[in-house]
């Protein structure tokens, strides 16, 4: 199926999709304040948050982009584009987590659907 939106409109929509400073990331950033976590640290595996002293890395993943086991729904249009892209995201996630674990990090993944319910529980656990 071809895209039904004009090229300019589709481009505007796609450019508004953020990879940094997403709402879930900013909420978690605020919640982690004072616990020694840095946001978007420059370490192997590129986690969203990390505490280098305690060796904890946290990823905040969107259900569509990272193929959430509970909520992912396969795209219905432009599958030749989306399916390989999403599969590559999943493979990259595995590689990044493996890299961090090999360096002694405990790796946590927080899914987009976990907000805000599970965040309070996570913060208590981290304290």
* CATH assignment at residue 95: 3.40.960.10
Q: 116 preceded by cis ω (within 30°)? A: yes
Residue 12 carries which DSSP code? H
Query: Is residue 10 situated within a structural domain?
Result: no
Structural domain range at position 106: 34-126
Task: Give the model confidence (pLDDT) of 93-107 as tens digits.
Answer: 999 999 999 999 999
In a domain, 71, yes or no: yes
Q: What is the pLDDT of residue 107?
A: 97
Instruction: Provide the mean pLDDT of the chain.
Output: 87
Pairing of strands 56-61, 38-39: unpaired
Residue 12 pLDDT: 73
Q: How confident is the model at residue 15 (pLDDT cuts 50, 70, 90)?
A: low
Please write the tens of the pLDDT for every residue from 16-51: 666 667 888 888 898 898 999 999 999 999 999 999
Q: How many domains does the chain have?
A: 1
Using the predicted structure, report yes or no on whether residue 1 has a pLDDT greater than 60. no
């Amino acid at each position: 199926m071809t895209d039904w939106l004009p090229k300019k409109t589709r481009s505007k929509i796609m450019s508004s999709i953020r990879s940094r400073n997403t709402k879930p990331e900013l909420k978690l950033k605020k919640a982690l304040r004072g616990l020694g976590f840095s946001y978007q640290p420059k370490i192997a595996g590129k986690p969203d948050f990390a505490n280098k002293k305690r060796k904890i890395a946290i990823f905040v993943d969107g259900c569509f982009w990272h193929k959430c086991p509970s909520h992912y729904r396969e795209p219905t249009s432009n599958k030749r584009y989306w399916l390989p892209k999403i599969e590559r995201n999943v493979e990259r996630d595995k590689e990044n987590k493996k890299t961090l674990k090999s360096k002694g990090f405990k790796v946590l993944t927080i899914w987009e659907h976990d907000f805000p319910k599970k965040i309070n529980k996570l913060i208590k656990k981290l304290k």
